[in-house]
A and B are shown apart, each in its own frame.
Chain A
Amino acid sequence: MAEICLALAASHTPGLTGWFDKAPEPERRVVTEAYDAVHDAVVDSGADVLLVVGNDHVANARVSDYADFTFGLAAEHRGPDEWFKPWLRVDDYTLPGDPGVAAGLFEAVRDSGPGLRAEPGDLRFDDNLSVPTAMARLVETGVRVVPVLQNCTVPPVPDERACYAFGEALGEAIRTRLPDGLRVGLLGSGGLSHEPGGPRYLDIDEKFDRWWLDLLQEGDHERILTEATFDRMEQAGSGGTAELLSWVVVMGAIGPRPCTSLGYVAVDQWRCGVGAVQWHLP
């Protein structure tokens, strides 16, 4: 049996790398410490493989032909995608992939419900993978990364219960279909509240974000699924806040349990509530 040895979630937003210095120093410190904690958790967990679940941001397929989840099967994952470089201002990176684990998980869950694809070639990565890679210094950890890009924003979006069920299937596949002794970490990448390209582009719903983080720390997943629905996320920032569905996938994979907040800040210039959590595993 493989083991889920780590479960984390953290925001990504281009401001964290592209214009980090626009935030006051105390907020910058919270974010730096949160991503340092993510880095340390990856190292301390001894994870061999890290699944990074994150919004695709309409980067890899036309909106008229859009998958719900796309598994990255490549042996290496390079980023950021060329057009995003002047915006994100991160160094070019190459993360080792794990084609065997990626293909094994894809085959195990491909009929689990949502529309799944596997991409053997290069995927385009923007802030979804590039921000955690840069901020949590993932290349330094040596962990092999399997990206799972998600549809959080092109209707019809798999809702909170569909994403939780997908996470349950993914967790079962990790525990039963991967090699014995393999240590697998999970990172949900996205959120918190933001409305990219909409009328509330510059707004952050701090009240929603803090409510969400409080709910997660309590760890009652049924309550979270009942109250923090896709529609509720949309009310807190359309097209962006629902990136929290990546956190819901992680919750499905590990089952009901509390987590610890690694920090939260709302910085207007970043146009996105920024926070991170680590779940308590046995």
Chain B
Amino acid sequence: MALDHFDPQLRTNDLVQELKWDRELRARFETSEAEVLAAYPLTEEERTAIAARDFRRLYDLGLHPYLLSQLARLIYGTGEKAGTSEAATALIRSLLGDEYETYMAARGD
């Protein structure tokens, strides 16, 4: 189950919420991501995973899947106009790892 890893205490959950809610913070994240990550009370493991776009690691650490997809949109853009957007495929590529190519080939995408 995708929700089995969820940890409400993981602070990356709150960071993604605040990025959605705070336009100024979002603008700083877009121009100075490392500074925003350094200033927010995250663990080094969380900062490293966000910087590396390692969505699988964030998922395992307990980031809620909804917020995981929203973090992908915050990074890759939200005006996607497609189900197989850059944000969605980057997320699935990270979550599926070695199985990604097989999975996408089976779908015909």
Contacts and interface: CB of A to CB of B under 8 A. Distances in A.
Interface of A: 15, 18-19, 22, 57-59, 62-64, 66, 81-84, 86-87, 89, 124, 153-155, 195-202, 234, 238-239, 268-271
A22 B83 contact: yes
Contacts of A84: 78
Interface string B1-25: 1110010110001100100110100
Can you list the 7 inter-chain pairs with the closest CB atoms, starting with the nearest?
Answer: A197-B69, A197-B65, A198-B2, A238-B2, A269-B83, A86-B79, A64-B8
A154 B8 contact: yes
Interface stretch (B33-41, B45-53, B89-97): B89-97
Nearest to A58: B66
| Interface size classification for chain B | 35 or more
Nearest to B14: A62
A125 to B, nearest CB: 13
Given A58-B17, A153-B66, A201-B69, A82 B23 contact: yes
Contacts of A81: 20
Contacts of A58: 17, 64, 66-67
Interface string B75-109: 00011111110001001100110000000000101
B92 A201 contact: yes
A8 B105 CA distance: 38
